Amino acid sequence: MSKITIEAIFDTTAENVWDAIKRPEAMKMWYFDIPNFKLVVGNEFSFYEGEAQMYLHKGKILDFSVNQMLQHTWTHPEQSNGSSVVTWTMATTDDNKVKVTLTHEGVESFADAGKDFTVANYEMGWNALVKTNLRNYLYNIKKVTFEIAIVASAEAIWNIMWDKKGYTNWMTPFCEGSYFTGEIEMGNRIHFLMPKGDGMFSDVFFLKPNKIVMFQHIGNVKEGKELPLDAETQKWSGCFETYKLNEIDGVTTVTAEVDCVEHYVDFMNKTFPLALQELKKISEKK
């Protein structure tokens, strides 16, 4: 039986992590919306995934130890006859941080559900949930969302967004002369830069051309060179910036979701709408 193992260390307390993984109001902010989750052995709970309400998940609490461990089953009864077990453990490190370990055993039993239920997909999803979503919740990193409707096809808008010249034009409200290096392809490393070569390096985490791209921001760039991750950078390294395009009857809704440290939330709220207006203006001229 294969076992997925995800580990992360957070500068917080075991009590804070425990609260995040067992309280429905907290889980809704970083994990899934599970209103019928109750911390009682034998309690059965269920939920659907994301805004699209895809894939029914069902689970049953098998065991728990306050501030230390939570274990439950994980099934997809509408797609598969398989069953698996998820275990969360928390341990305080010598320097008073918390090591969180997530294991998921039995994922291969979902092979009858199709390509969306592979071990690799689960591993990618758990990495994002534990190392980014949970981290963001614990460190008070906010997800800010912006949206605009553009009278143009998703393909045309996508080409403007990720053409090197087009990107520089619509990102002008952030910094005139902004640019990126690298190609927008799955797994590629991208440098998002200002004219002097300072900025951020990121990886293309997920990609469906003309529909969605997720960038995972890793660290800072100085004069074109990637800097090592210092203590401050490690607190946000792994954050996501996601762009979704949804075309209906010649009108495309562009949605941007950005994980943002609290210090920059006001700047994002002021500047991102201006950038999307530039994208709209350029796209609707075509």
Tell me the mean pLDDT per 10 residues along the chain, length 286.
91 96 95 95 92 82 98 96 97 95 96 91 93 92 95 98 97 97 97 97 96 96 95 88 97 96 93 98 90
Residue with tokens 């992360």: 8
Smallest CA-to-CA distance from 192 within 177, 209, 211, 207 is with: 177
Q: What is the pTM of this model?
A: 0.73
The confidence score (pLDDT) of residue 1 equals 65
Quick count: other Cβ atoms within 10 Å of Cβ 16? Answer: 15
User: If you ran DSSP here, which 8-state letter would residue 110 be given?
Assistant: G
Do 150 and 277 form a contact (C-beta atoms < 8 A)?
A: no
Smallest CA-to-CA distance from 121 within 88, 78, 159, 76 is with: 76
- Amino acid in the structure at residue 148: I
Beta pairing partners, 88: 70, 102
For helices 265-285 and 154-162, angle between their N-to-C axes, nearest 10 degrees? 120
The confidence score (pLDDT) of residue 232 equals 86
Do 110 and 243 form a contact (C-beta atoms < 8 A)?
A: no
- Amino acid in the structure at residue 226: E
Give the distance, in angstroms, between the CA of residue 226 and the centroid of all CA atoms in the same chain. 22
